[in-house]
Amino acid sequence: MDRTSVKIVVAGGFGTGKTTLVGSVSEIAPLTTEEILTQESVGVDDTIGVEGKVQTTVALDFGRITISQDVVLYLYGTPGQDRYWFMWDALAQGAVGAIVLVDTRRLETSFAAVDYFERRGIPFVAAVNQFFGKRDYSEREIREALELDADVPLVWCDARDRESSKLGLIALVRYAMSLLDGRRLSHNSAPY
């Protein structure tokens, strides 16, 4: 039986919940490259709003979720700090799309991730991680702050909750497929 492998990137700024989301949905024990934050990171890593964070991803997180007998999603979580962004190109290569996790306490940490996927034409959804189970901002306010195109899906999730995180994945897969179908239709209708 041939299986289709689908690569998805889970991205966002430092402390937005990438490792947590990958771990919550993965059907296997996730591979993580978490290291303890040390005194050397003081003044380098912006921990405002995430003062309790004691570990950080230094390379990637990896998980897997089987959608059907024919389709398996491979999840690659990116590191959040600027100094590890060189990993993003390798992790994004061949990806069908990305989930950009958003922390409304620190919206600015998501700007670079949104920009990264927009510039490369990689489909993405913005997923507002509800750390405390509440919505402080409306969809309109978040879209305006992130300068999201109208067609980019915006979803709410709790990265700690498997079912909630799966909804973000479903939104991404549907969005990426709709773009692919649109390209096929455009290509097929072109005169030769």
- pLDDT band for 4, please (50, 70, 90 cuts): confident
Per-residue pLDDT tens digits for 139-181: 999 999 999 999 999 999 999 999 999 999 999 999 998 987 7
- pLDDT band for 36, please (50, 70, 90 cuts): low
- Is the predicted pLDDT of residue 40 greater than 80, yes or no? no
- pLDDT band for 62, please (50, 70, 90 cuts): very high
Structure tokens at 53: 């964070």
Nearest to 126 by CA among 106, 105, 149: 149
- Is the predicted pLDDT of residue 59 greater than 80, yes or no? no
Measure the CA–CA gap between 176 and 192, rounded to whole angstroms. Answer: 27
Structure tokens at 45: 């890593």
Measure the CA–CA gap between 161 and 174, rounded to whole angstroms. Answer: 20
- pLDDT band for 10, please (50, 70, 90 cuts): very high
Report pLDDT for 88. 86
Nearest to 68 by CA among 31, 27, 101: 27
CATH entry 3.40.50.300 includes domain 4-185? yes
Regarding beta strands 4-12 and 55-66, do their DSSP bridges make them parallel or antiparallel, or are they unpaired?
A: unpaired
Per-residue pLDDT tens digits for 69-82: 898 999 999 987 77
- Which residue shows structure tokens 């507002």? 128
Q: What are phi and psi of 76, to 5 degrees?
A: -120, 110
- Is the predicted pLDDT of residue 42 greater than 60, yes or no? no
